[in-house]
């Protein structure tokens, strides 16, 4: 179950007391000084002077009106005379240009007629310019979706949903997956193993639930951690620092109001200093060359569930399977779109809602044969967890808010194999 906000998630690292600001400092933070330029502040210094000058101008205006009117009339007459001269010159020039253009057109017409007559004499057909035909949309054009597979037409009138670009956006994200493909990197880490990574990811799930962060933040943070560990050898003492810093970066990328550095230092039991977390943030961003828009399976999962109009309970079951996959080292090399497709297919089979449909095959780009091996791996994870100590995901999805999908029994193997045929 999610623990109340403000409580620290459990950690295997030593605890220290956090620095809590005093009551006097909190009161000073709420004090607001009145600025002299504000409407409630001091009056403006030049307000009386403005009134005097306005009175003087009103008094003098009666004596000056006649002279000013005469000068303005003279200026208007002079300007009108110059405008008339300019317009007459322009008309004369334009008439000369039109006469020259007519003469040139007549010469060109006579030359083209003579050229065509010579071609006819020589037995050649005159060259005809091709007529421009209007382009007709075809299904081969990018972004063109058949009507029976169009899942965005209901939002076509909503400009905020960008339904006309939805297919292209997810095709772009699927193409970016090739840039972020990882392999099993733990053989490069002399001081780490898969159990330590599982404990770290389980703790990150607990942090995401405590801070009430988006699910995309959790997936992106795990991806950032894996990418950093795949390139840099780390000690087990700095593993929690890497995970919490990845959560900080992902929060800045995904959240509307992300937690600050002090919040992440607090959940680490003050085991690290502020300078260490800032230095780790710089290292992670430089290693990824500041390209942290990594495709995550959660985005694809919501898109693919829309194809079959899955209800919230079925989508939550697929999310539960997808979140369990974060704990497994063997699934690190899997692409996000393929993993999301396999999680949705297993959820459909577990709920008895059918199998892989043509509309899913169109939008995902995967056939049933592409998903068979991965669905079997996910089924074994749901049926027989690899580590009973990692309970954050199961306890999270055992709550009534998530429809208690973690308590749904796994489907039988014969029924699974029949659905995968």
Task: Name the strand (E) or helix (H) holding 300.
Answer: helix 297-307
Contact 63, 69 (CB under 8 A): no
Q: Within 10 A of 37 (CB to CB), how many other CB atoms are there?
A: 8
Residue 40 has what pLDDT?
A: 41
DSSP 190: T
3 state SS of 25: helix
- Listed in sequence order, the residues at least 6 apart from 63 whose beta carbon sits closer than 8 Å to its beta carbon are none
DSSP 5: T
Residue 27 CA to its chain's centroid (Å): 39
CA distance 304 to 312: 13
Apex 339 CA angle, 336 and 344, nearest 5 = 125
Residue 20 has what pLDDT?
A: 41
Q: Whole-model pTM above 0.75?
A: no
Q: Which residues of the chain have pLDDT under 70?
A: 1-143, 148, 155-158
- Listed in sequence order, the residues at least 6 apart from 389 whose beta carbon sits closer than 8 Å to its beta carbon are 199
CA distance 275 to 280: 9
**Which two tokens mark 310?**
């899955």
């Amino acid at each position: 179950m999610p623990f109340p906000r403000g409580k620290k998630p459990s950690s295997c690292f030593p605890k220290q007391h956090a620095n809590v600001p005093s009551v006097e400092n909190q009161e000073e933070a709420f004090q607001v000084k009145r600025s002299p330029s504000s409407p409630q502040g001091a009056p403006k210094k030049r307000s009386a002077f403005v009134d005097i000058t306005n009175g003087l101008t009103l008094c003098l205006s009666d004596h000056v009106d006649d002279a000013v009117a005469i000068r303005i009339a003279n200026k208007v007459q002079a300007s009108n005379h110059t405008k008339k001269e300019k317009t007459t010159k322009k008309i004369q020039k334009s008439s000369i240009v039109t006469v020259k253009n007519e003469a040139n057109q007549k010469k060109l017409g006579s030359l083209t007629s003579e050229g065509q007559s010579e071609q006819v004499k020589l037995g050649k057909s005159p060259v005809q310019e091709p007529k421009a035909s209007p382009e007709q949309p075809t299904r081969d054009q990018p972004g063109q979706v058949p009507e029976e597979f169009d899942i965005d037409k209901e939002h076509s009138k909503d400009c905020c949903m960008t339904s006309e670009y939805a297919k292209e956006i997810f095709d772009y994200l699927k193409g970016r997956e090739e840039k972020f493909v990882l392999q099993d990197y733990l053989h490069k880490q002399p001081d780490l193993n898969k159990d330590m990574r599982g404990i770290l990811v389980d703790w990150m799930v607990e942090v995401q639930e405590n801070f009430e962060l988006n699910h995309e933040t959790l997936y992106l943070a795990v991806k950032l951690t894996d990418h950093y560990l795949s390139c840099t050898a780390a000690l087990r003492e700095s593993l929690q620092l890497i995970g919490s810093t990845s959560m900080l970066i992902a929060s800045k990328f995904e959240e509307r109001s992300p937690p600050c550095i002090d919040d992440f230092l607090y959940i680490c039991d003050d085991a690290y200093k502020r300078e260490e977390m800032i230095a780790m943030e710089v290292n992670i961003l430089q290693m990824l060359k500041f390209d942290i828009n990594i495709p995550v399976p959660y985005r694809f999962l919501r898109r693919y569930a829309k194809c079959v109009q899955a209800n919230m309970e079925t989508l939550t079951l697929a999310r539960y399977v997808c979140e369990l996959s974060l704990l497994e080292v063997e699934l690190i090399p899997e692409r996000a779109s393929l993993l999301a497709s396999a999680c949705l297919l297993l959820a459909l089979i577990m709920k008895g809602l059918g199998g892989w449909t043509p509309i899913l095959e169109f939008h995902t780009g995967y056939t049933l044969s592409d998903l068979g091996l991965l669905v079997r791996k996910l089924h074994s994870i749901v049926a027989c967890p690899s580590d009973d100590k990692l309970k954050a995901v199961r306890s999270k999805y055992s709550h009534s808010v998530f429809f208690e999908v973690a308590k749904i029994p796994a489907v039988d193997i014969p029924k699974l194999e029949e659905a995968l045929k």
